[in-house]
A = this chain, B = another copy of it.
Amino acid sequence: MSAPLRSPFAPKFVPNLYPVPGVELGTAAANVKYKGRRDLLMAFFQPNTAAAGVFTVNEATAAPVLWSRRVIETTPSDVRALVVNAGNANAFTGMRGHKICADVAAEAARLAGADPAKVLLASTGVIGEPMALAPFKTYLPRISEGLSASLYKDAAEAIMTTDTYPKMVSRLTKLDGHVTPITGIAKGSGMIAPNMATMLAFVFTSAAIAPVCLDALLREAVDSSFHAITVDSDTSTNDTVLLFATGANGQETPIDDPSDRRLDEFRKALGEIMIDLAQQVIKDGEGARKFVTVMVEAARDTATARAVGFSIANSPLVKTAIAGEDPNWGRIIMAAGKAGAGIDPDALKLWIGPNLVAKGGAVHSRYSEEKAAEHMKGQDILLRLDLGQGDAATTVWTTDLTHGYIDINADYRS
C-alpha cells in the first residue's frame, strides 16, 4: 500500500522537552518487526519512584498489560524500569506471551540492578503473533549502556507504529515551591496492516507524590483526556497510560492527599499535558483531515453528556459528513437520539461553530446553511449541543472518517 500521508496537524517544530531528574532513557532499532528504525525503549527510574497506571478495559487483554497492572497493584511506590516495544503487541499469544513478559522484565531488572517485579512493560503492534525474546536480550544491554536524561524525542519515535509524527509535550510547573518538570510521550491510533493497535502514553515528573494520590491525579486527568477521545470506537487490547513520579524535585516528603492545595498548579499542568497528548493522538488519527470537538452542555449528569458526546463522535454518518464538509445537522440529532440517554428533542439546542442550527424541536428560523458550511470547511470543527436538562457538561474529541481511514485499514497484509 502507499504510505499514509503525514497528518495535516503534524507539528512544525520539536517542542522544548525538559529532562526529568530521576529518569534516564534510551532506545534501539531492535528489529522487533520494523527494519531500520527505533522500536525499543527502556527507561530507568531512581529508587522509590512512584507509578500509577490506567489500562485498557478490553477483555482480550494483552500479556504486558496484565503484567504492568500487577506491578502497579503490588509495588507502585518503587518502580525501577520501563520497557516498551513497537511492532508486536504480545496480545492473544497464550502462555508463551506471559513467559516473554517475565523474561523481558528479568533482563531489564538485571540491568537496572532491581527486582523484576519493579519493571513495567508495554507493547504495541501485531495481535496474535508470537513475540521473540532475542531482540530484547540483544538490545536491552546496549540501551542500558547509553542511557541519558534527554532522549524524549527518541523515546517518542521508538514507540510509534503507524503514527505519522512523534507525540511529545513538556512543561515546567511548581510543586510546593519546587520547580517540577512534567514530560510526556504518546503514540496513537495507528491501526494498520498488519493490525497495529494501541494507544500508549508515558508521563514522567520529578514530583514527590505518594502512589494512591498519584493514582487519583492520573485518573482525574485521564477522564478529561484519553477517556474523552475516539477515532473509531475500537478499543485496543494494549492501551496503557503510565505516570511516573521520581520525587527528585527537592520536596521533603511526598504529598499523599489528592485534595492538598499545594497540588493545584501541578494538577492543572498535568491535566493540560494529558489533554495535549490526547489531542495529538486524535490529530494523527488514521486518515484524519479534521479535528472535531464535540461539546455537550446542560446535561442531567456527566454520564448523559458523555453518552451523547460519544454517540455523536463515533457515528460514521456524522464523521463522513464532516469529511465531506457537509453541515448535515440531522445526523447529529440522529446520533444524539440513538444514544438512549434520555434526551428530549424539543429541549435541544445545536450549534455548528458559532451558528445556532436547531432549537425547539426544529431548525432555527435564522439558520444559515451557508454559514454552517463555511465553518465545516475549516480544519477545526466545533459541534455544540445543549441538552436543556441540567448543569453537567463534557467535551470529547474525534476526527472525520475519510478515504484515508479505509486505505490504511483495508489494505491486505503483505
Contacts and interface: CB of A to CB of B under 8 A. Distances in A.
24 contacts: A58-B338, A59-B336, A59-B339, A59-B341, A60-B334, A60-B343, A60-B345, A89-B330, A91-B333, A92-B333, A92-B358, A127-B330, A194-B328, A195-B317, A197-B331, A233-B316, A234-B316, A235-B337, A236-B334, A320-B405, A321-B409, A323-B406, A326-B412, A401-B410
Interface string A238-268: 0000000000000000000000000000000
B330 A197 contact: yes
A403 B408 CA distance: 11
B59 A320 contact: no
A364 to B, nearest CB: 10
Contact of A193 (B89, B328, B358): B328
A89 B314 CA distance: 23
Which of A235, A344, A402 has the most C-beta atoms of chain B within 10 angstroms of its own C-beta? A235
Interface of A: 57-61, 89, 91-97, 126-130, 191, 193-195, 197, 232-237, 314-317, 320-321, 323-326, 328-331, 333-346, 358, 360-363, 373, 401-403, 405-406, 409-413
Nearest to A331: B195
A321 B405 CA distance: 11
A235 B337 CA distance: 9
The complex is assembled from copies of this chain, and their number is 2
A325 B344 CA distance: 42
A61 B334 CA distance: 9
Given A92-B333, A96-B362, A316-B316, 16 more contacts: A58-B337, A59-B336, A59-B337, A92-B361, A92-B362, A97-B362, A130-B363, A194-B328, A234-B315, A235-B334, A237-B337, A325-B412, A402-B410, A403-B403, A405-B406, A406-B406
Contacts of A58: 334, 337-338
Q: Which 3 A/B pairs are nearest by Cβ-Cβ distance?
A: A127-B330, A60-B337, A94-B362
A323 B197 contact: no
Nearest to A344: B59
Contact of A358 (B128, B235, B341): B128
Which of A315, A338, A363 has the most C-beta atoms of chain B within 10 angstroms of its own C-beta? A338
A191 B317 contact: yes
